[in-house]
Amino acid sequence: MSLLMQQHFSQTYIEKYLNNIYNYVLDTIEDEENLCNLLNLDYTNNNQNVDYSNILTQGIYLLRYAYAYIFEYKLMYTELLDMYEKNNINILSIGCGTCIDFDALLLLKDKLNKRFTKGLTYTGIDPVCWNDNLKHKYFTTDKKSKLNCIQSNLEDYCNNKDITKLIDVLVFPKSISEIY
């Protein structure tokens, strides 16, 4: 796929993704009785008061940040794939939310298919249950790739596991500031 076609595909995918979120947020707002709790919504400065279990909070967060994040993650994975030498990869993403870093990775699908002939395993963990209507809907993984989204905190997920033997890459997609 040419660079121009890849850019168009990326743009088209992201537009569909954001339009899906936008429409879902609009539908949710119509059913919401009290929008006043959104007045003081502040995602900055490691604000621990944000209720990410609230569907509107999730949708507004994604509308605000998803476009930038998906491009950042795409650049990150481009660099990573250029450095990585094995023909399979196991990624653990801590605080993955809607697994938007996985979406960014799949934007590099042609590169992935050439590079990881034995497959890709992505496991995303997040303590918050993100609404399925806000997650990726336009990509499917091939038979060699596996996506796991797990609602868990890091301590429970790692309990009785030596994750150093299970993963090759550890990703903290905008979540490292929330780990104490």
Euclidean distance between CA atoms 114 and 83, whole angstroms: 14
Task: Please tell me the pTM assigned to this model.
Answer: 0.80
Q: Are strands 119-126 and 145-151 parallel, antiparallel or unpaired?
A: parallel
What backbone phi and psi angles, to 5 degrees, belong to 169? -135, 135
The answer to whether 121 and 99 are in contact (CB under 8 A) is no
What backbone phi and psi angles, to 5 degrees, belong to 97? 60, -120
Q: Give the CA distances from residue 114 to residues 78, 81, 120, in Å, rounded to whole numbers and listed in that order.
A: 13, 11, 12
Which residues lie closer than 8 Å to 97 by C-beta, 6 or more apart?
52, 58, 124, 126, 128, 130, 173, 175
Q: Give the CA distances from residue 176 to residues 92, 154, 173, 179, 180, in Å, rounded to whole numbers and listed in that order.
A: 13, 12, 7, 5, 8
List the chain pLDDT tens, one digit each, 180 residues: 455 445 545 667 778 888 888 998 888 888 777 777 777 788 776 666 788 888 888 888 889 888 889 889 999 999 988 888 888 889 999 888 888 888 888 888 777 777 777 778 888 898 888 887 676 654 555 666 777 888 888 888 888 777 777 888 888 887 665 554
Domain boundaries along the sequence of the chain: 3-178
